[in-house]
Amino acid sequence: MKNIVILGSTGSIGVNAVKAVKNLGKGWRVLGIAANSNLEALGAQLRALKPAYVTVFDYEAWKELKASAPRGVKVLPPGVEGLVELASLEEADIVLSAVTGAVGLAPLLAAIRGSKHVALANKEPMVMAGELLMKEAGRWQARIIPVDSEPSAIFQCLASVKPGHYDDAVSRVFLTASGGPFYKTKGSLAAVTPAQALKHPRWSMGPKITVDSATLMNKGLEAIEIKNLFSLKLSKIEVVIHPQSAVHSAVEFKDGSVLAQLSVPDMKLPIQYALTWPQRAASLAGPLDLFKLARLDFAKPDFRRFPCLELAFQAARAGGICPAALNAANEVAVGAFISGKLRFTDIPDVVEKTLAACRGDSRSSLTIAGAVEADGWARQKAAAISEILRKRLK
């Protein structure tokens, strides 16, 4: 029996993960689930999955959960504490981390230190402190299997290379991006509304990552995630706009051979693979119809029109706390944009101004505590910058 803990079970990844677990059938069980505050969705999952453990982050929601949880399910503490407890459960074989944002760092670290098989969707901690997390994973013999479609594609292409030797074997990684909803939009993007940005042409995802896909920050975050996950030089990562989202990424080896992973754009596939790795099982994602697809287009990204992409590469090159600061500033700016307090084009502005106050460190003497501190500091800075920009909006 494989016991799975799903952090962020009510989200886009979480719901698809539950479907994947059901699809895998006998021998797979959801042991514990956690969300932020969506008790309606969580309640339905509690009834359907009958996990042994549950929690929510939000304290008000937690009090309600505590009062209403079905008998037989243990309600763990609210906040980070509960997430960490879930991720550390002795009985858990696999921890799927699918919460949004930096809040996933502590439970991810706990899962690693518990030597779990970690299925990782939550990319933000890998941006903040990925090198350190990979070192910890090595030390604790925890396996981190990427869930995100592009890192999963690269992971699959690298299957024949011994971990730790990826950079020797690889000359380039083609990190593909659909381009998001505005890639072909002409003129200024200043008037883009949250509703427009929340409509992704290919993927149905949670609000934060959908906006990140529209600014292309998502690709920047993925570039940093990939650099850290596979210990690759940043200069080897090439972002490629590929509107069909059929090639989920490709790897060029030093002999010039390029391996790519293709499939329909359906997250149920990489989620399931991250659970079953190194095995494969029939999935709920349909087959790829090459004849219907007919063509594959590739183009270079426009770094000037989508400055978030350039900012992410800059932060990665600077190193130290800069990626953590980039991520925090972006989380703040995207939140403000979604709630109508900032313009779409203010997002890179907030990130750039926050990064300007951040000193890099190419020696990479980063600590987890340092990344957490930088996250807090950058959030404050980004909130102050957002407030100045918001006043200008009026």
CA 112 to chain centre: 17
Contact status, residue 355 vs residue 329, Cβ threshold 8 Å: yes
> Is residue 190 left, alpha or beta, with left meaning phi > 0 and alpha meaning psi from -120 to 50?
alpha
CA dihedral 204, 208, 211, 215 (to 10 degrees): -130
**Residue 68, SS3 per DSSP:** helix
Phi, psi of 74 (to 5 degrees): -90, 125
- Is 124 a binding residue for Mg ion by CB under 5 A? The answer is no
- The least distance separating ligand NDP from the CB of residue 58, rounded to whole angstroms, comes to 7
| Residue 17 vs residues 59, 76, 86, 146: alpha-carbon distances, Å | 25, 21, 17, 13
- Residue 245 binds which of Mg ion, ligand NDP, none (CB < 5-8 A, kind-dependent): none
Q: Which stretch binds ligand NDP (CB under 6 A): 23-31, 97-105, 135-143, 322-330?
A: 97-105
Nearer to Mg ion, 213 or 354 (CB): 213
Phi, psi of 163 (to 5 degrees): -55, 140
Find the largest Cα–Cα distance for the chain: 62
- The least distance separating Mg ion from the CB of residue 248, rounded to whole angstroms, comes to 8
Nearer to Mg ion, 126 or 336 (CB): 126
- Is 117 a binding residue for ligand NDP by CB under 6 A? The answer is no
- Is 209 a binding residue for ligand NDP by CB under 6 A? The answer is yes
Contact status, residue 337 vs residue 346, Cβ threshold 8 Å: yes
- The least distance separating ligand NDP from the CB of residue 389, rounded to whole angstroms, comes to 24
- The least distance separating Mg ion from the CB of residue 289, rounded to whole angstroms, comes to 22
Number of residues that bind ligand NDP (CB under 6 A): 29
- Residue from 3, 12, 213, 272 touching ligand NDP (CB under 6 A): that is 12
- Residue from 38, 88, 244, 345 touching ligand NDP (CB under 6 A): that is 38
- Residue from 21, 30, 87, 98 touching ligand NDP (CB under 6 A): that is 98
CA distance 278 to 275: 9
Helices and strands (H, E) in the chain, number of each type: 17, 11
- Residue 150 binds which of ligand NDP, Mg ion, none (CB < 5-8 A, kind-dependent): Mg ion
Contact status, residue 275 vs residue 4, Cβ threshold 8 Å: yes
Q: Which residue, among 217, 249, 247, 218, has the nearest Cα to 236 in the 3D structure?
A: 249
CB-based contacts of 290: which residues, under 8 Å, 6+ apart?
none
Which residue number has the CB closest to ligand NDP?
Answer: 11
**Residue 249, SS3 per DSSP:** strand
- Residue from 148, 212, 252, 349 touching Mg ion (CB under 5 A): that is 148
- Residue from 85, 124, 266, 375 touching ligand NDP (CB under 6 A): that is 124
Nearer to ligand NDP, 169 or 262 (CB): 262
- Is 194 a binding residue for ligand NDP by CB under 6 A? The answer is no
- The least distance separating ligand NDP from the CB of residue 55, rounded to whole angstroms, comes to 8
- Residue from 46, 121, 237, 311 touching ligand NDP (CB under 6 A): that is 121
- Is 37 a binding residue for ligand NDP by CB under 6 A? The answer is yes
Nearer to ligand NDP, 106 or 260 (CB): 106
Nearer to Mg ion, 237 or 374 (CB): 237
Burial 349-367 (b: 16+ CB within 10 A, else e): bbbbbbbeebebeeeeebe
Q: Which stretch binds Mg ion (CB under 5 A): 24-32, 150-158, 292-300, 338-346?
A: 150-158
Nearer to ligand NDP, 212 or 349 (CB): 212
CA distance 311 to 295: 32
- Contacting positions for Mg ion (CB under 5 A): 148-150
- Contacting positions for ligand NDP (CB under 6 A): 8-14, 34-38, 57, 83, 98-100, 103, 121-124, 148, 203, 205-207, 209, 267
